């Protein structure tokens, strides 16, 4: 919108909500980033809004699952936080079922954020596995 004060208020509220729900254990300093840095809050909210307004750049909610046959022979890794409320575990499980070469790893003590130690650990293992392809 054109009202900068309202734009900042909405962007901050969105960023606080997203950062609060993306981790299992939320550090208040992590949330403070959204409330203390207007540029971050606006950029973060705009990127996410762009993604959602465009339907996650998918033609429909089932596009990835319906087209999984196109990647059936490509190895990969799905890393899923057990307490991820942004992308429920069911999504990872459904993808795993239709992608034979997609290894599924649940991280017991994590939500959605790639900044959680268990997620980082699994992503490093996954990238190391494919390093020499």
Alpha helices (H) along 2-132: 4-21, 28-36, 38-53, 63-66, 89-98, 117-130
Mean pLDDT of 62-70: 95
Nearest-5° angle of CA 80, CA 81, CA 84?
Answer: 110
- Tell me: the pLDDT tens digits for 18-53? 999 999 999 898 899 889 999 999 999 999 999 999
- Tell me: the pLDDT tens digits for 6-16? 999 999 999 99
Q: What is the pTM of this model?
A: 0.85
């Amino acid at each position: 919108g054109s009202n900068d004060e309202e734009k900042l208020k909405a962007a901050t509220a969105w960023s606080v909500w997203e950062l609060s729900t993306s981790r299992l254990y939320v550090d208040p300093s992590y949330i403070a980033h959204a409330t203390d840095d207007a540029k971050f809050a606006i950029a973060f909210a705009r990127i996410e809004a762009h993604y959602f307004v465009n339907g996650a750049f998918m033609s429909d909610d089932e596009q990835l699952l319906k087209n999984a046959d196109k990647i059936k022979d490509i190895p990969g890794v799905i890393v899923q936080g057990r307490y991820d409320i942004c992308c429920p575990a069911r999504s990872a499980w459904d993808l795993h079922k239709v992608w034979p070469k997609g290894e599924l790893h649940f991280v017991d003590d994590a939500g959605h954020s790639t900044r959680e130690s268990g997620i980082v650990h699994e992503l490093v293992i996954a990238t190391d596995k494919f390093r020499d392809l």
